[in-house]
Structure 1
């Protein structure tokens, strides 16, 4: 388990329940960038949702902290009904002011390191079809369309897959 790691100036570590409000604010700023009509309000209490994700015994939330500010966050766990060697990246956000600065790449590498340590072999995620920036980021990291989960009619997400290879 990754508890704390220094990667240059920012620190990547496990998120704390008390940070849920700050994580939810980052989540909102990042998601708002790819909704042309504004972020839809589906009634979700994102602070409570993030607190729940951080407290889940079967999940993990990593955050990137620089000078006390959370600038990146990733949430992952085994999805229900999936084999134990599969992990789903449920949320992955970098503060828009830090895009293209290496924060996302470092956070992704920390996720992969944890997945390897946990014996994961496959990672999956869903990305919004309008989020071209994220799709390009994931492609650069080695994610590909999931052949076992093609988009359904009317689905607004693409399903991607990542092969978690052992080190070496």
Structure 2
């Protein structure tokens, strides 16, 4: 089931987030001293943000967080976080979660989505390419930046 995350699920979302991110940071996670539970709770409760989660047998196995980024056009949404339990990769969970995001973006009248992905996260880059994400021409990576910026055409609502 894919549904909105609840504030009391922030710890479970954080656990999933940290497990997934640790797969592509070879030297350990940045922001190790950050209170990720508080950050996720804030994202879940933030009125201009949406956090979707995939729940299976009461376990959160996927999560996506998105909203309009500061300074971005109102018809463009930014995908800030997108994680699937590494033990569940290649089970269509990410594909289904992405489809739910796109459905929500279309319903909200969004025409485009953006995200940034870590350069070492080749698995995620391939996943996003398969779904139609392309390099964002408005945001080429700066020299030394460790993120690639991608754009997705959401399309008009039906």
Normalised by the length of structure 1, the TM-score is 0.92
Q: Which runs of 5+ in 2 are unaligned?
A: none
Q: Give a deviation string over 1:93-140, Cα, whole Å, max 9, x none.
A: 000000000000000000000000000001000000000000000000
How big is the alpha-carbon RMSD for the aligned residues of Structure 1 and Structure 2?
Answer: 0.9
1:83 aligns with 2:73: yes
Query: Partner of 2:28: helix, strand, or coil?
Result: coil
Cα distance change on mapping 1:41 and 1:81 into 2, 3 Å: closer
2:101 — aligned with what? 111
Which of residues 117, 122, 132 is equivalent to 1:132? Answer: 122
Post-superposition offset of 1:62: 0.1
State the aligned residue count: 158
2:82 is equivalent to residue 92 of structure 1: yes
CA distance in 1: counterparts of 2:146 and 2:63, whole angstroms: 22
Alignment counterpart, residue 57 of structure 1, candidates 33, 37, 47: 47
- Does structure 1 residue 123 correspond to structure 2 residue 129? no
One of 13, 21, 31 as aligned partner of 2:3? 13
Distance 1:18 1:51 in 2: 8
User: Does the CA contact (< 8 Å) of 2:113 and 2:153 recur in 1?
Assistant: yes
The answer to whether the aligner puts 1:45 opposite 2:45 as a matched pair is no
Q: Give ranges in structure 1 of 5+ residues lacking alignment.
A: 1-10
Q: CA deviation at 1:41?
A: 4.0
TM-score, length-scaled by structure 2: 0.97
* Correspondence 1:74 to 2:64: yes
